[in-house]
Amino acid sequence: MDSSASTPQLLRRTNLRAVLDVLRTVPSATGTDLIEATGLTRATVIAVCDDLIARGWAREAESPRLGGQKGRPARRFAFNETAGYVLGLDVGIATVRVLVADLAGAVAGGAEARFPRHGGQPEARRRVVTDAVDAALADAAVPAEAVLCAGLGLAAQVTADGTVAPEQEAAELFDLGLTEAFSEVRGWPLLVENDAKLAALAERWRGVGAGEDNLAVILAGERLGSGIIENGRLLHGARGGTGAMGGLELVEGVGNEDGIAKLARLWGSAALRDGHNGRIRALVGPDTDRASARFVFEAAADGDPVAAEILDRIARRMARVLALVSTFFDPKLIVIGGAVAASATALLPVMTEELGRYVPEPPRVAVSDMGELLVPAGAVRLALDYVQAHMLELVPRPRP
């Protein structure tokens, strides 16, 4: 191919991208603003903006009229955040959560559903996911054809090509044929990623780690898993295993991947079986020896010494996990997320003190404030990154 023939097209795409990149970061901009930001000529900027408006990626914004101003105010241009929508899914063992967001990341709607008890067959689990997606789209009043991309987080190790690593114990719970259901049937690009990695994307985007380029996020509910961002880049490894914690059985004082919620439940239940008759028993009642993590944390807050001792043990154990992550990846901030994140604030003083014993210059430790939206928000961010990178190849699909 004659390279000179493609030069005008290449230049045009470069100019479109330059203006788009500016419009995505500001509420609106005048032609003069865009000239200063891009270095393009006025004629080129106006032509590019008109082209973006015609394509659907930009819109003309209202120009405020200043007091005493004569003539027409300068044209203002803005990114069209409703030119399409993205989906963010969090598929766990028991639950699926779905968010629908516009191209500025504003959530327009969502849905949540539970899988059949005891896992369920892949077909049944896939139907739960697709039904939850349809419910989320209905909640957002967004038609399926307006979706440009879907991000999917799984509570499993995901390989570099977006497939579930087959050797995992729960692989059959997550290998559901969703790529066919979404990409091939509905025409949506589907990006699959491990849930802890998406949690890291979410925290750096909108959480307590916002803007932090060296960040670790540990999902610490039932099982431990981490997502690592180093110099602003999400780490994956050769098979997607960066941040996996399968080697914790080798760590003295830890021994397995059990998370905070599971440990609190197991150790609280063991205390009841051993005859504990304090606040945990009062909360659980006389008819069962099964303590929930929530009751253990609540009992500790009420002054139950047995519950307090359980939390102390969990905090000291978690400090060893934090030390391992700190030593291997050297983050400036470690965020604890997952189902028990709100309660984990009670563990921070002991975890932080213990971490200082293991690491000479320990990172700051914080607790996520994003709750159950942590992973689906990261899936939204993953989908938005795809749309932004491929915007000039995609066709806008605005909501009618």
Provide CB contacts within 8 A for 343, sequence distance 6+.
260, 293, 294, 297
Domains present along the chain, CATH in parentheses: 3-79 (1.10.10.10), 85-204+375-389 (3.30.420.40), 210-369 (3.30.420.40)
Strand 333-337: give its sheet, edge to edge. 233-234, 225-230, 215-219, 333-337, 364-367
Mean pLDDT by 10 residues, the chain (400 residues): 60 94 95 96 96 95 65 86 97 94 97 84 90 97 96 89 77 82 90 96 96 96 94 91 89 94 97 96 96 96 97 97 96 93 93 96 96 96 96 84
Alpha carbon dihedral 200, 249, 297, 327, in 10-degree steps, equals -50
Beta strands in the chain (DSSP E): 29-30, 58-61, 76-79, 85-91, 95-102, 107-114, 147-154, 190-194, 215-219, 225-230, 233-234, 333-337, 364-367
Res 121: pLDDT: 85
Structure tokens at 175: 């290998």
Which H or E run includes 17?
A: helix 3-23
Res 6: pLDDT: 58
Q: How far apart are CA 189 and CA 179, in angstroms?
A: 8
Structure tokens at 80: 């069209």
Coil, strand or helix: which one is 398? coil
Res 285: pLDDT: 96
Res 256: pLDDT: 94
Entry pTM: 0.92
Q: How far apart are CA 299 and CA 276, in angstroms?
A: 12
DSSP string computed for 363-383? PEEEE-S-GGGHHHHHHHHHH
Q: How far apart are CA 353 and CA 347, in angstroms?
A: 10
Res 5: pLDDT: 43
DSSP string computed for 291-358? --HHHHHHHHHTT-HHHHHHHHHHHHHHHHHHHHHHHHH--SEEEEESTTTTGGGGGHHHHHHHHHHH
